[in-house]
A and B are shown apart, each in its own frame.
Chain A
Amino acid sequence: MSKASCFHCGDICISELITYNDKSFCCNGCKTVFEIFQENDLTCYYDLQNAPGAVPKEIAGKYDFLSQENIIEKLTEFNDGNIQIVTLYIPHIHCSSCIWILENLTKLNPNISSSQVNFGKKNVRVTYNSKQASLKEVVLLLSSIGYEPYISLDDFKTGNQHINRTLIYKLGIAGFAFGNVMFLSFPEYFEVGEFWLEKYKHLFRWLMFFFSLPVVFYAGQDYFISAYKGLRSKLLNIDVPIALGLAVLFIRSTVEIIFDLGSGFFDSLTGLVFFLLLGKFFQQKTYSFLSFERDYKSYFPIAVTKIFEGKETPIQVYDIKKGDRLLIRNEELIPVDGILINGKARIDYSFVTGESETVSKQSGDKLFAGGKQTSGVIEMEALKSVEQSYLTQLWSNDVFSKNKDDGFTTLTNAISKRFTIAVLSIAILATSYWLVVDSSKAMNVFTAVLIIACPCAIALSAPFTYGNLLRIFGKLKFYVKNASIMEQLASINTVIFDKTGTITSNQKSTASYEGKALTGSEETLLKNTLRGSNHPLSRTLYDILDEQDIISLNHFEEHLGQGIEASYEQNSIKIGSASFVGANETALLNTAVHISANSQYKGKFTFYNSYRKGISKLFNKLKKNYDLVILSGDNEGELENLKKLLPSKTKLIFNQKPDDKLEYIKYHQSEGAKVLMVGDGLNDAGALAQSNVGIAISENVNVFSPACDAILDASKINQLVKFLKASKNAIKIIKWSFVLSFIYNIVGLYFAVTGQLAPVVAAILMPLSSISIVVFTTIATNIIGRKLE
């Protein structure tokens, strides 16, 4: 039978196949969603995109906290008791069908008056009548059609976020003024002394003056502020010569039109600010669907269920006190450290460690915050509050409040220091020369030098190079936070990797068998026994073993925390821990499953991590230029395996706690290392923050990754060398464009020093230099980008 794929979610129907309306569905959930859409004439959902849906999850009771007034108040952005507006983040939004169905929510619930999707941010803004519908109903409706919103502790802090749009305003104003001033100044470029022009030129000039006022005092104010700040901390940053140039341009132009000396340089002035802001805008463009600032709050729920005097009440996570009895449902996150009281706990710590294999816990065991319960309901007693838990404590470290950009001199600022000094000396030398030769021209020359030397082109090189490369990297699934990270990336000399989840893959692990060979009938029995078990190790082993005939077992029993027992005809089998099957084995570091058949010990399957494709190659390429380290939180079970796989000079360090990783990096930085940390789980968060560049590896970039400087898609980890090389080449491009802009400056300075700088020369030279830099950097980065692919 060929395997059918689900009409709703597109998954292959493995365990069951439901046929309804001639369409196949992989589960009842998917079928129900289809029914809902069909009843409401919304099946067009499936026309726009094939199999666009997601399987709705069991959520009974999960959102009970949404009926609490104070929580509603915090989550909604507008609430007048009648109408509520809420913006919900929905990770599943991925295609045009999603937009369509979410914007037609009103068909499913008439109390929802409007819903609007922001595809880039993957959120939906829902307006509803709060008298008729509640926030909880809205969330349940979304969940029932497979669009479960993600509500985390992070949403709790602010109801309404302020969007900063100043740069767009400034860019708009500068562009508006630039265009108009260009028109107004054009007549005077060539027609000097013409009758009508003479008559109206004063009007034109004063109009230009008024257009340039908002450009200098509003659009360009950042440059003055930054230059002032730079000077105060005794730093000649790139904004100092820019601010100087802008000020001189404005003052000289104003003086010229007041005393009727000439038409001024308002065209160059507005053009300069416009191009500079354009560069800023280009550089600022970021990935709105990614967040680089996540801490544990994005992972944690807002509320959990507290059991108090036999009653279940939702309680805010921050209000959990020591000794509280908490109820954790399936798929819920454990918010605080505690002790398991009752229930079958199977905890997935993949958020924390990157290890997706679940851990079974017995009543009385300690549970750590950050784990996700994956089977049934458990009860636990809190031992600590949220902030004091083992994992969350990490965020009290100073690293997280420090801004990484501080104390890092960019290439542009490094060059601007020498540049500023050189320009000032040329200006003074030229002025003193003219004071002797022709003192009437001295002031003219002084200002002209400062105007023409205004380092517009230099200031544009870095933003356009990095900005463009950022975009190219983004297309190749390497998402870098901002341009200054690109520059840091080029200076790296040490690369540190986390092990689990970073160089090993999350899903697949491999197992090898040791012991007596199994007979054919035993293998069949083994495979069929594993089929019935839901334990993650059984599932993994089941997937690894060869395909066998399906038989129905005579006897099957699962012993919790020990193993499985089964029999078929005259054969019996035991699968599980060493003690369960009766093997005398000393404790091993690696996970192993032991097997005995007919009360005779056969052997064991030992599980190994499976490493991502191309890891060995990547390390061999990296070893030429970088120091390599593996910092793992796990035990040394994989030591031999890693030694075989990786170049011999790689340092392998195991048993590292989150704090240890951070300290290790700090120590090496104090010895001059520039560290690139590659990690994935929340336990790497400290190390990612401390390192010069922290890259988070993610199997699915839409899901969460800890705070970092860049996110790299897991399938592209073997390309890391190329990305590092490209960032080095970017530095070369910037250096070349510096050379290019120096040439323009020298030509301009010739006009300025000889006292013949006409407005038309400035008006041609300045945009020309800026545009040619933009063209040069764009072409050069695209060539780098082509090499990457």
Chain B
Amino acid sequence: MSNIITAEHITKRFSAHTALDDVSVEIPRGSVYGLLGPNGAGKTTLIRTINRITLPDEGRILFDGRPIEQQDIFRIGYLPEERGLYRKMKVGEQALFLAQLKGLKHHEALLRLREWFTRFGIEEWWNKKVEDLSKGMAQKIQFIVTVLHKPELLIFDEPFSGFDPINANLLKEEILRLRDEGATVIFSTHNMSSVEEVCDHITLINKSHNILSGKVDDIRREHGGNIFSAQYKGDAKALIERLQGVCKVLAHDKNPLGYSSIKLHIERNEDVRSVVAMVNEAVELRQFTEEVPSMNDIFIRACQQG
């Protein structure tokens, strides 16, 4: 899988502080990529560097493997954290204006806008003034304008902030749909449950440094410390004897009448399949799962260590 964006050793200094310090990120084409980090960590600066709003002091951004150019921004759709529209303009007129700036012809823009407005069920907003819309409504308009020119790369800065759960869900579905249509999505967020649901890759930025990068599944597994839990019915003593020397029992909740549960630590070089087979032989196995920490735990732990 090729990378659509490669950020190489990006450093960006402002007069008072360093916003990014030697940050490298690789964003695979077709992924949904989460940029995580506490407030003020440098996420927005990294995003602005990727879409050429600010130039880095050191390092470079590669787009499709070659240094990014001004024309490439037509292939990027960007939804900034601080949403903004011209307040006095009518919704339709404004959407058309922004779409044309993205390089769409008037006719084409009109067609696509009609389609999106119908999809979101907001046709009657077309002639309303932006100042008459609620915050959530304005965000929907802005989302449409961001994706309208069908960019290969979509960058959303805090897309879920300010949306109610229903609209946040709608937004999640749209993000996944866009990915299925072939777009790459980068978004920054504090909302960890959305990361688990939507992202396949993440980078965690803290205090201007990239402290954690990779596939979500891999990261959770790495931070899990190979802990598995099992639920079973049967002879607890026999099970423990069977596992002796194979893995460590961390906790054991015996229930002679119903289901007992056991927590195991399996060494990394041990074959998980054979452990499952052993348990299965000893008792009646009901459930066997790896206990992976939530992204929330990983986030907090990583940031506190750094």
Q: Do A and B come from one complex?
A: no
